[in-house]
């Protein structure tokens, strides 16, 4: 089975969605001698200290090594530091410091996905049920998760705030402007929160705006509806203008969500340019530790983390050859094992989401794995009906968009596990609205308990054999009622709130 490559961040207006989740490899970041990304000769480092202990000795070592602390997350024993010292890692080692790693070269390209925007003419010609939303008739994904019946119970409570860790949310979008928890929104680029509105708005990507619309687009007679239109979303920007997600931004995002009292975070990305973060790798281990500490801390503060399984069509439960990483430079071939996991999807306590298309079958691109995937949800599949021969745009997910060229808000189609994750986050938000006070563990268990089991397909699974590509998208589903393609099943909004 070959890897479905990650796509570099790019503006993708009116391009053929049917091209699927394609691969465009970007040039690696400018690097200093130690491999760190160069910013005026400086690099960013994660300094990990023993948890529960004072950070005083670590702070002293950082200062002595000519480092500047730009973010102090002593709650989890993580410091984000900038330094131009080429020997910073060696000079900082010692008592009070567990590990140090440069994060440069560890920025991950967001799996942006193509956007196909609805044109002005298409918007003008829209029919549908005027008692709901003009575009609701094209949101096939919402009836699939039993949303209309769920909304007879609750559309969500404004007391529930969802952190969207992504590329920012357009604060001017008519379907989102009233949905934003502006006082809890921030940019985490560089590892430290910036709450100015311009900082957390999108610049070069509409990914976060699309995700936010699936979660909470308003029921206001305009555009689409979200799964939980009564809740609030907070933009937590972790994707920079080049489309990279660095570990320090993700750590900041989880910590910000925890300290701001959010109950959920949606994470439609993976960390580390290597698709899997290997805990037995000296360079990658501090990243794993820092991110896991941040997730665990947010969980202790009542935050449930929902994450996408990825678009590589990989069986994450078994060893495989990763031939498409790193995605910020020239891919290499390496065999990975049980010490290598997708972050944040495979961190403990995270709800991991796979994707299905309009027929309910596993989307051809969706990663999977028995014991890895917890639930599945609509992510779109523009190729499933024609077995890959030609695309059907309307079989992707319709949501809110922001054209980064014209700076105009709109609506359009994307597909990917990035789109399935927010369905689950939205259902979780509805469940919390109906049953306030649930812990993250209780909420995760409810999502699984109320999901509708989906069987494995008979025999081998080859959903798009006619796709004009040499890439092999066959997959093998393992398990019974709970299986590697669907986990506990298709998330169901009504069952989660009734």
207, 314, 423, 486: the catalytic one is 207
Is 418 among the residues known to form the active site? yes
The reported pLDDT for the residue numbered 154 is 98
Chain Cα centroid distance, residue 114? 16
Per-residue pLDDT band for 324 (boundaries 50, 70, 90) equals low
Is 462 among the residues known to form the active site? no
CA dihedral 5→331→369→285, nearest 10 degrees, is: -130
The reported pLDDT for the residue numbered 232 is 98
CA-atom Rg of the chain in angstroms: 21
CB 484 within 8 A of CB 352: no
Where is pLDDT greater, at 368 or 23? 368
Residue pLDDT, tens place only, 438-494: 999 999 999 999 999 999 998 889 999 998 887 889 999 999 999 999 999 999 999
CB 362 within 8 A of CB 376: yes
What are the b/e assignments for 171-203, b being 16+ CB within 10 Å?
bebbbbeebbbeebbbbbbbbbbeeeeebbbbb
CB 229 within 8 A of CB 217: yes
298, 418, 420, 433: the catalytic one is 418
Output the six-digit token pair for 201.
Answer: 């708005």
Q: Which residues contact 495 (CB under 8 A, 6 or more apart)?
A: 146, 450, 451, 452
146, 166, 322, 381: the catalytic one is 166
What is the rounded CA–CA span in Å between residue 314 and residue 369? 8
Is 207 among the residues known to form the active site? yes
Residue pLDDT, tens place only, 222-277: 999 999 999 999 999 999 998 888 899 999 999 999 999 999 999 998 775 555 66
What is the rounded CA–CA span in Å between residue 412 and residue 472? 28
CA distances from 470 to 24, 322, 335, 363, 463 (A): 16, 17, 21, 18, 14
pLDDT at residue 280 is higher than 70: no
CA distances from 451 to 35, 112, 215, 348 (A): 45, 28, 18, 20
Query: What is the model's pTM?
Result: 0.89
The reported pLDDT for the residue numbered 323 is 61
Give all domains of the chain, ordered by start, each with its CATH number.
17-27+109-497 (3.40.50.200), 43-104 (3.30.70)
The reported pLDDT for the residue numbered 40 is 53
Q: Which of 40-54, 245-259, 314-328, 408-422 has the lowest mean pLDDT?
A: 314-328
- What is the overall mean pLDDT for the chain? 87
The reported pLDDT for the residue numbered 2 is 26
> Which 8-state DSSP code applies to residue 475?
B
The reported pLDDT for the residue numbered 17 is 32
The reported pLDDT for the residue numbered 243 is 86
The residues pairing with 108 across neighbouring beta strands, listed in sequence order, are 245
Q: Is 187 helix (H, G, I), strand (E, B) or coil?
A: strand
What is the rounded CA–CA span in Å between residue 250 and residue 141? 29
């Amino acid at each position: 089975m070959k890897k479905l490559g990650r796509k570099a961040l790019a503006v993708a207006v009116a391009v053929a969605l049917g091209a699927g989740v394609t691969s465009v490899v970007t040039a690696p970041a400018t690097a200093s001698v130690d491999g760190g990304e160069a910013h005026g000769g400086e690099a960013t480092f994660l300094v990990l200290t023993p948890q529960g202990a004072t950070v005083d000795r670590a702070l002293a070592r950082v200062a002595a090594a000519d480092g500047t602390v730009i973010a102090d997350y002593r709650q989890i024993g993580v410091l984000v530091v900038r330094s131009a010292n080429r020997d910073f890692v060696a000079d900082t080692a010692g008592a009070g410091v567990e590990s140090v790693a440069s994060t440069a070269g560890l920025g991950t390209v967001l799996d942006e996905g193509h956007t196909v925007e609805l044109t002005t003419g298409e918007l003008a010609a829209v029919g549908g049920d005027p008692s709901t939303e003009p575009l609701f008739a094209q949101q096939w994904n919402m009836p699939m998760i039993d949303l209309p019946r769920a909304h007879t119970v609750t559309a969500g409570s404004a007391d529930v705030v969802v952190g969207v860790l992504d590329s920012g949310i357009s604060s001017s979008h008519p379907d989102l402007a009233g949905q934003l928890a502006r006082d809890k929104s921030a940019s985490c680029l560089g590892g430290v929160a910036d709450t100015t509105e311009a900082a957390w708005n999108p610049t070069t990507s509409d990914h976060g705006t699309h995700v936010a619309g699936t979660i909470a687009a308003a029921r206001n007679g305009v555009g689409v509806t979200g799964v939980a239109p009564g809740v609030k979303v907070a933009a937590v920007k972790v994707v920079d203008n080049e489309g990279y997600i660095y570990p320090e931004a993700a750590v900041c995002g989880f910590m910000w969500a925890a300290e701001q009292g959010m109950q959920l975070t949606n994470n439609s990305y993976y960390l580390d340019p290597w698709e899997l973060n290997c805990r037995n790798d000296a360079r990658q281990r501090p990243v794993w530790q820092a991110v896991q500490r941040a997730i665990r801390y947010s969980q202790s503060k009542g935050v449930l983390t929902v994450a996408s399984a990825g678009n590589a069509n990989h069986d994450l439960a078994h060893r495989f050859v990763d031939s498409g990483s790193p995605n910020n430079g020239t891919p290499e071939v390496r065999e990975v094992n049980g010490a290598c996991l997708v972050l944040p999807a495979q961190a403990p306590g995270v709800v991991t989401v796979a994707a299905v298309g309009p027929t309910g079958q596993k989307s051809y691109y969706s990663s999977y794995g028995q014991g890895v995937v917890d639930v599945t949800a609509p992510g779109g599949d523009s190729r499933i009906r024609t077995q890959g021969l030609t695309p059907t745009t309307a079989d992707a997910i319709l949501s809110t968009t922001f054209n980064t060229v014209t700076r105009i808000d709109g609506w359009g189609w994307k597909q990917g596990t990035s789109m399935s994750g927010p369905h689950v986050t939205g259902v979780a938000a509805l469940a919390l609205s109906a049953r306030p006070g649930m812990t993250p563990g209780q909420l995760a268990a409810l999502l699984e308990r109320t999901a509708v089991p989906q069987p494995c397909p008979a025999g081998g699974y080859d959903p798009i054999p006619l796709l004009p590509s040499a890439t092999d998208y066959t997959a093998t589903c393992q398990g019974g009622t709970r299986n590697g393609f669907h986990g506990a099943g298709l998330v169901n909004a009504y069952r989660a709130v009734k």
